[in-house]
Chain A
Amino acid sequence: MDLTYTEDEEDFRHRLRGWLAEVLPGLPDRPHPADWPGRRAYDCGWQRMLHDAGYAGLHWPEDAGGRGATPTQHLIFLEETERAGAPYVGAGFVGLLHAGPTIAAEGTPEQRARWLPPILRGDEVWCQGFSEPDAGSDLASLRTRAVRDGDAYVISGSKIWTSHAEIADWCELLVRTAPVNTGTPKHRGITWLAMPMDAPGVTVRPLRTLAGTAEFAEVFLDEVRVPVTHRVGEENDGWRVTMVTLSFERGTAFVGEVVACRRVLEALARTARANGRWDDAVLRRRLGRLAAECAALWRLTQWNVSEAQRTGGVPGVGGSVFKLRFSQVRQELYDAAAEVLGPDALDAGQEWVADRLSSLSYTIAAGTSQIQRNIVAERILGLPKGR
């Protein structure tokens, strides 16, 4: 067990810090959360800067346009950018964390050449069209139909909870290409397609979240034609294609936020000292325990990253364990923040109150906590399939 970083790793950290110190002061002001075109421009602009400095797709393989960095270097990158207060991946999330890696792993050379460079440069934004009104946790029961017509698929159906749909150029879409028959498992007839969001027949209707902003949308598909060449992987093999990279997300997607948890906790302590609530031993001890939880999340991350490094980049089963604890701690953190704020906890204009609201999605999005527990029970602990 070694927690010290190698000379190479420290060198990488040092250069990154230098670069961040140089460029961050020159960034434009952050756009208002409701200003979607502004958010797109801001997030893509940051991605472009990363790209030009050689930090885009750091851990992607080199033949996919990445830098072939080790999982540890990637961890350092995420840690340092968060510490420096650099922009979050934002609108680039799906392209960089899921659709891109999927295309890198399963796409043809032509598909990689078409889609990966614009993702890395911040030129094109992707969204994820998986969930449907009747297919959430039970994603494999999705019903959006794609019927082959010559060299295109004709797609009809609807998707829901699609983050960033309003500003996306592309959608990684899961569609049903074979009917569900008794006998064949329902995840067999699913296909992965790249759908242009400006194709005729695509209608986006923003949905307002409980925070009052439109973070995700419904996407209606009415006989949308998508060329067969936009299919990644074989027809009816989309479930496997998707799962190849889904576990990637849970490995490192939250690194920045774990670092942020510690920062928020220190800020809470400062605020509590200033407003006198620090004198309350119950509150103080609650913050102390949260510090232990944050330490554990960080160590779990290092553990999982080290494991990935040893196994050649494949994230282990630790992702679900991590996500369960992380989402819970994140919510507890902002509940504690509310106590520190006192009456101001009812002021939706407070940053921590907004974060408290958004923390409520953590036990739902990207697989609910119940689904994560099912995964832990069945795949890690080997308990019989539940019912």
Chain B
Amino acid sequence: MDFQLTDDQRALRTGMRELLDRHFPRARLRAVVDADAARRGGAPAGGAGAPERVGGLDRVGGLDRGLWRELGAAGLFALRVPESAGGVGLGLPEVVLACEEAGRALLPGPLVATELAAGLSGSLAVGAAQGETVVTALHEGGTPVEHLGSADVVLVLGPTAVEVIPAEEAALSAEPMRSVDPATPLHRMTPGPTRRGQAEGPGRSGLAARLWREAALLTAAQQLGSASRTVELAVDHAKRRTQFGRPIGAFQAVQHLCAQMLVRAESARSVVYAAAVTEDPGDIAAATLLADEAAVHNARDCLQVHGGMGFTWEADVHLHLKRAWVRAGQWQSTAAAEEELAAGLVSTVETCL
């Protein structure tokens, strides 16, 4: 047993962090976010004139396809694609590490659906691995669909079959929402003839079931990245901000908020990484639960540590909270994950523990 990152995995993580810093620096994130604010008629932070189009956005409120292609070219979506098929040939733990970094950087885009589609063989989602084709996915139980307006195709995980349908077809039974997360446009799915793949997760089998579990895990990995990032943001702020003649980080009430944030993030990390190795449904359910909890609660505590600044559009804290809300329970609801683990308690023959 050696439950630590290998040297290669450490290098991959560093590489991913640098890649995202290069292609998606904070300015690019803020451009997306402020464009959304402008579109909604609210003045962007700083009160400057609202830009019509910012950065490489090719559709208002849409995904930056230029960025998506850059990341595709850098291999972000092909980590698990075999080398023989032009991919990087790594495993699920490596994709988890990459998703963690994406969550940390608040990278917008349908990353999980793209990762899944890129791993499919045949003609289902040609171009997904390269970032040429934008793929989103239908979720469970009426969860809104992200980036439908920018997507070319939609991944549908049915009870047994895996399908990819044109985005226009899915759009027939979808209506846009005013997304709480300025960087993640959402559509609400309405009941309609093309509404497929909405069966409950546990009923799935075969490939569809496997992809569903992987989606839950990769989502948890992004939540973990966000949860770790908000610890850093809170700690940095607590060291810099001075009140009563000392850094607020010297106040124990603030220290203990930060300490609990770290405990949440590290507990989530341990199960997310373990699930990446075992791919066990119970471990994945545990990862979903603890990573959702860590992302949402850490963002809340981070906001508290930032004081009034935490309540502004300008600080990034709200972006972590809102994205965490979007992702929480996205593939496996909290109730479903808890029920799955409860069922595991009574059916245990020999568990991993």
Contacts and interface: CB of A to CB of B under 8 A. Distances in A.
Please indicate whether A and B come from the same complex rather than being unrelated chains: yes
Contacts of A374: 252, 255-256, 259
Contacts of B115: none
B267 A300 contact: yes
Interface string A225-269: 000000000000000000000000000000000110010011011
Nearest to A2: B2
B258 A291 contact: no
Interface in A304-353: 305-307, 309-310, 318, 321, 324-325
B239 A384 contact: yes
Contact of B258 (A258, A303, A381): A381
Interface string A127-171: 000000000000000000000000000000000000000000000
Contact of A377 (B2, B4, B255): B255
B243 interface: no
A296 B290 contact: yes
B3 A303 contact: yes
Interface in A189-223: none
B167 to A, nearest CB: 35
Interface string A264-277: 01101110010000
Contact of A383 (B239, B268, B290, B339): B239
B345 A266 contact: yes
Contacts of B255: 373-374, 377-378, 381, 383, 386
B271 A296 contact: yes
Given A72-B1, A296-B268, A383-B238, A285 B353 contact: no
Interface residues of B, number: 57
Contacts of A321: 262-263, 266-267
Interface stretch (B98-106, B273-281, B323-331): B273-281
A323 B343 CA distance: 28
Interface string A375-387: 0111011111111
A135 to B, nearest CB: 20
Given A292-B290, A299-B271, A384 B247 contact: yes
Interface string B79-97: 0000000000000010000
Contacts of B9: 1
A75 B1 CA distance: 11
B304 to A, nearest CB: 15
Contacts of B93: 1
A379 to B, nearest CB: 10
A373 B270 contact: no
A291 B343 CA distance: 10
Contacts of A298: 352-353
B23 interface: no
Contact of A288 (B238, B262, B345): B345
A302 interface: yes
A278 B353 CA distance: 22
A302 B353 CA distance: 11
Contacts of A377: 249, 252, 255-256, 258-259
A306 B351 contact: no
Contact of A324 (B263, B273, B338): B263
Nearest to B231: A381
A72 B4 CA distance: 13
A187 interface: no
B5 A383 contact: no
A321 B277 CA distance: 22
18 contacts: A2-B2, A258-B353, A266-B345, A270-B346, A281-B339, A285-B339, A286-B338, A288-B345, A289-B341, A296-B268, A298-B353, A303-B270, A324-B263, A377-B259, A380-B262, A383-B249, A386-B251, A387-B252
Interface of B: 1-6, 9, 93, 231, 235, 238-239, 246-247, 249-252, 254-256, 258-260, 262-263, 266-268, 270-271, 273-274, 276-278, 282-283, 285-286, 289-290, 335, 337-346, 348, 351-353
6 interchain residue pairs of minimum CB distance: A377-B255, A288-B338, A288-B342, A299-B270, A292-B286, A288-B341
